[in-house]
């Protein structure tokens, strides 16, 4: 359902976007400009170890938690109603 909603939203806003469903822990992940993940922190950390991206936007975990993965540093953080979101980038980006 999330894939179809993303496609419909992109069409409605005249945005060119490639969307596909994948198991982030098993499937081959293509290099991307931005990866967006709204999933539990354990899976976010595993995803960040596998994906090649210029930026990552992550959420889906509690405000006291933050992603930690080699090759990524936190560029921005947001907290709302006890939940956290982060923007991460490789060092130097």
Q: Which domains does the chain have, with CATH numbers?
A: 28-89 (3.40.50.150)
The pLDDT tens digits for 5-32 are 999 999 999 999 888 888 989 999 999 9
The pLDDT tens digits for 49-89 are 999 999 999 999 999 999 999 999 999 999 999 999 999 99
Q: What are the CA-CA distances from residue 49 to residues 1, 24, 69 (Å)? A: 26, 10, 6
Contacts of 35 (CB under 8 A, 6+ apart): 47, 51, 53, 55, 56, 57
């Amino acid at each position: 359902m999330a894939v179809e909603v993303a496609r419909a939203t992109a069409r409605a806003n005249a945005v060119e976007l490639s969307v596909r469903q994948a198991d982030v822990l098993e499937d081959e992940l293509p290099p991307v400009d931005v990866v967006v993940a709204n999933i539990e922190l354990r899976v976010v950390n595993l995803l960040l170890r596998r994906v090649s991206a210029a930026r990552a936007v992550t959420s889906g975990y509690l405000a006291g938690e933050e992603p930690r993965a080699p090759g990524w540093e936190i560029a921005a953080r947001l907290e709302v109603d006890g939940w956290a979101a982060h923007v991460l980038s490789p060092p130097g980006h």
